[in-house]
Structure 1
Amino acid sequence: MRNITSKYTVTLKLSLTILLSSSKLFATDRIPVLVEPVDSWNQFISTNVYCSVAMPPLHQISSHAEAELTHVKPTGSIIRAGELAAKQDDFYLNQEIEIIRTDIETTKIHLNYAEEELGRLVKLRVSDMVSPSHLNNLKLDVDTHRLTKQRLEEQLKIAEYRLKKLKHFAQADSQVLSIEANPGERLNPGQKIMQLLPITTAQVECSIPEEHLDKNDIERNSSFKLEGQDIALRNISYTVHPETQNLNLYFEASREKFQSLLVGQRFEMTVLTSLSSMSQQELITKIPSDAVLLEGHQYKVWAVNSDKRIVSKDIQIIDTLQNHFIVRSTIKPGDLLVVKGHEGLEPNQAVSPTRRTAT
C-alpha cells in the first residue's frame, strides 16, 4: 500500500512539474517581429503646382507737351531707377512760361489800379459825387482782373509741370522694351515715346485645378515656397480656364530674392497647406512603407504597445516618399510599427519586437 502511495505522489509531482513548465513556456512564447519607429512630420500637405513667369505691367513713357524729342535710350538698354530715359526740347515751353509770368504781372498792375480807384470812389459815393453804375463798373474791373490773375497762375502751374515732364526718368530698374518715337520728331501731348519693362519684380502665375482649390483654405492656411524661399500670394483668379478647368494664383517676386526668374520661364512651386481642420486626436506622421497593409479598401498597420502586444490601426495615406508614406492617423512619433512578420498576426497578440537596423 505504501509503495502505491509513493508511486502516486511521484507521478503527481511529475505531472505538476510538466504542467508548470508547459505554462511557463506558453507564457514566454512571443512571435518575433521586426519593427521600426514612426517619425514626426510637419502638419502640412505639400502640393506642387505648375507656374510661369509672366511679363509685369509695362511702364509707358509719353509726351506731356508739344516739344521735339532730343534724346532717347536705345532698345534693350538697362536703365536704373531715376536715370534719364528720354528728353524733349524745352525752348518753346520756357518762352511760354515767361509770357504767362509777364501776363500775370500786367494783370497785377491792372488789379492794383482798379482796387485803388474803387477805394477812392467808394469814399466819394458817400457825398453822392459818384453814380452807382460807375461804381459797379469799377467793382466789375476788380473782379475781372482778380479772376484773370487766378487763371494765369493756374496756367503757369500747368506749364511748369509740363516743363518738368520734358525729362523722362525710369521709375524702377528697367529694360527698354520698345521705342515709338525718334530723336528730332516733334511730339504732341499724349504721344507715346517708349516702353520700359521693370526688372526688379517678376509676376508669377501658377495654375491649380479648380476642384483642388479652397480659396479660404489657400488664403488662410497655406504658404508658398519658390526655390526654397517664401513667396507671398498676391491674388486668386475668379475665372476658370475653359479647356483645363484651372484657376490661377498670382504672385509678385522680387528679382533681388529670385534672381534666376526670366519672363516666359516655366517651373514648379510648392504649396504647403496646414491641416488645421483635422481632429486633435489625429497626427501627420512619416511611417515606413513596409509597415502598411491593404485590407479591402482600408490601409492598416500593426503597432506595438507598451505591453509588447500588437494593435491594428487604420491610416490615411496623404503623400508618398521613396521608402515611406506620409499618413494621417492616431499614430504618434516614436510608436513602433511591425515591418516584417505580419503573417498570422492577430489583435492583442504578444510579440517579441526587434528594431530594424537603418541601412
Structure 2
Amino acid sequence: MRDLSSTELSETLLGWYDIHARSMPWRIGPADRATGVTPDPYRIWMSEVMLQQTTVAAVKEYFTRFTTRWPTVTDLATAEDADVMAEWAGLGYYARARNLLKCARVVAFELGGQFPDTLDGLLALPGVGPYTAAAIASIAFDRSEAVLDGNVERVMSRLFNIHDPLPGVKPVLKDKAASLTPALRPGDYAQAVMDLGATICTPKSPACGICPWVAPCAARAEGTAAELPKKTPKKPKPTRYGVAYVARTTEGAWLLERRPDKGLLGGMLGWPGTDWGDAPSRNPPFTADWSRLEGEVKHTFTHFHLILKVETARIPEGFNLRPDQELLPQAGFKPSDLPTVMRKAFDLYQGNPPIKALG
C-alpha cells in the first residue's frame, strides 16, 4: 500500500478516466469536455432519475426513446401524463415517472426552462434527492459536490478499508468521497469514480490488477476487498397474493382500471384486481362466469414478492364503468404500455387456457 494525497488520488483517477471513460448517450466524454462542450442538464437529470435503482443497460433504450420524443424539458412538461407513464412501463418504480413530470413542469413553467445550478436549488425540485442533486450539480454544472451511489460506496469502503456495515456507514463514506472530490473537473471525477466501481471495483471478483488505485487501496493491501462493503442483513421479503381480472367485450375491447395516484403503480392502467394481501381473496369487477387460468404470475417489488392468479370472463352487455375504469379497443391496446406485473398477467392470459370455472 502506498499513501497518496487526495489531489494525487483524484488526478490518478482522472488520468484513467480520460482513457477508459464509458460511452453513454447522456454523457459528454472527457475529450469533448476538454474542448468546452458542456452537458445538457436536462439529459443529465433524465438519466439520473432513470438510473435510480436501475442498471445502465436497462436505461439506455428508455433514455433514447424519451429524449427523442421529448427533446427538451418543456416538451416533457407539456406531454400527456398517460403517454409518459406508457413510455416508462417496464422501467419500474413508477413514482419516479410521476416525479419526472412534476419536476419537468416546475422547471419549465416556474423556472423558465432552466435547471438550478446549485445543490440547494436542485434539492428543491420534486423527486430530486441528495444523490441525484449532487450528481446533476457535479456532472452538469461542474460543482464540486460528492456523489455517493452504490458504486462509489463500494470503492470508498475498499480504498479506505472500512468495515462498518451499510447503511449506517453512509455518512462516513460520504465524507471520504467528499475528501477526494477535486475543485477542478469535479464532473469528470464523479463519472470516473462511478465508472471505476462499475467496471473494475465490481461487487464480485474486482479486477484489482488493472485498477488505477491498486497501490493506495487499503483493502487490497489487507486482502479484504472481496468482503467489502459490509451490509446489515436484510429481513426476508414477505409474499402477498391477489387476483387480476382480464376481461373483454364481445367486440374485443379490454377492461382496464387506473390505479390511485399514490402507491405502487400509481396512476398506471392495468387489470382490475383484488388488494394484495397475506392470503388470496376474490373481488371480480362484475358478476360473470369467471374462469381461472392455469399457472400464476410471480413478481417482486422492493419490499415484497407478489403472486397473482389470473381470471378471465366476457364483459356483459350494459356493464357500467366506474370513473377509474375504461374500455380500450383492441386497436388502441398495446401490452407494452402496461406495467411489468400487468404485462405478465396478459402473457399468462395469452398462453394458457382456463382450467377452472369459478362462477
**Higher relative contact order, chain-length normalized (CA < 8 Å, sep 6+):** 1
Bin of the TM-score, shorter chain as denominator length: under 0.3
What TM-score comes out, normalization by structure 1 length?
A: 0.21
Structure 1 or 2, whichever has the larger Rg, is 1
- Please state which structure has a larger fraction of its residues in strand: 1
